[in-house]
Amino acid sequence: MNQNRGEFGSMATEQALDLSLPSCRYLLSAILAMEPSDCLLSHARACGGGSITEQAQQFILDHCLSTPGDFHAPYLKNFLKKLITQVECDHDSVLDQFYELYAHYITSFKDDSFGKRDSRICKRISFLFPDDYSELQTCPHSRVLTFPLKCSTNMLEGDTGCSIWPSSLFLSELILSHPELFSNKSCFEIGAGVGLVGLCLAHVKASEVLQTILYLISRIGDIKRQHIYALKLCLLYYASEQSEN
């Protein structure tokens, strides 16, 4: 299974690009997941066979940025700037729509207003199923499973419980690849973060999913540290009781 991984290969630049092509699906998934701009540019080059062609640019406009208002403004502004700069450095043509969209973000949003906006952003994590996984019960008809997750951009909040950790991505991929190990099972996770693993467990029809988010509990002023430890022990005891039953 591939999760936001690119693949380089030759492609006729005159060919119309669509989501039937793996490289295009990787690019769309990377943008929805708000991957770094350099990663997006790499996927865009893969779509164009080594360069960000006009066909690759048109695919980005039609399929990735069709509703730009859904994106975090600073993120999209930064991506547009790097995309335009890269295409110009390669002495290729930039589609006019990118200049217009970038100008819109420059004139509509001031840099100091970005920090005053909601620090929560929505990342859409996509799991792409290969062709030979079509018979798997967890595989959607489109062979793409997407979860919207809210994360924090405020580093002062810390990132515990607000970030998507690499380990949760690998564990989620394992769950979706081997649903028989988790379906109809009681599953318990300490430190659920944004909850990606729990969503995947629910997708494979685990009989029960129990998750803890101690970060949120610890921010409640009246709860002391020893109470949190006591809660963790109680949850562990509950989990062991469930497994014995």
Which of 2-6, 53-57, 213-217 ranks highest by mean pLDDT?
Answer: 53-57
Instruction: Supply the mean pLDDT for the chain.
Output: 77
The whole-number pLDDT of residue 30 equals: 93
Q: Is pLDDT larger for residue 10 or for residue 117?
A: 117
Q: Return the exposure string of 171-191: e unless at least 16 CB atoms fall within 10 Å of the residue's CB, then b.
A: bbeebbbebeebbebebbbee
Q: Give the DSSP letter of residue 140.
A: -
Structure tokens at 227: 């109470």
The whole-number pLDDT of residue 196 equals: 87
Mean pLDDT of 130-158: 74
Q: How many CB atoms lie within 10 A of CB 163?
A: 15
Mean pLDDT of 151-174: 72
In the chain, % of residues over pLDDT 70: 70
Mean pLDDT of 7-13: 41
Q: Is pLDDT larger for residue 135 or for residue 38?
A: 38
Mean pLDDT of 201-218: 75
Mean pLDDT of 117-139: 77
Asked whether the predicted pLDDT for residue 169 surpasses 80, the reply is: yes
- Confidence (pTM): 0.69
The whole-number pLDDT of residue 219 equals: 43
The whole-number pLDDT of residue 214 equals: 56
3-state helix, strand, coil in the chain (%, to 5): 50, 10, 40
The whole-number pLDDT of residue 160 equals: 54
Structure tokens at 118: 């909601």
Mean pLDDT of 94-99: 95
Tell me the per-residue pLDDT of 111-123, one tens digit each, with 9 for 90 and over: 545 545 556 778 8
Q: Is pLDDT larger for residue 220 or for residue 161?
A: 161
The whole-number pLDDT of residue 4 equals: 47
Smallest CA-to-CA distance from 80 within 104, 59, 62 is with: 104
Q: Answer left, alpha or beta for residue 86, where phi above 0 means left and psi between -120 and 50 means alpha.
A: alpha
Please say whether the beta carbons of 41 and 84 come within 8 A: no
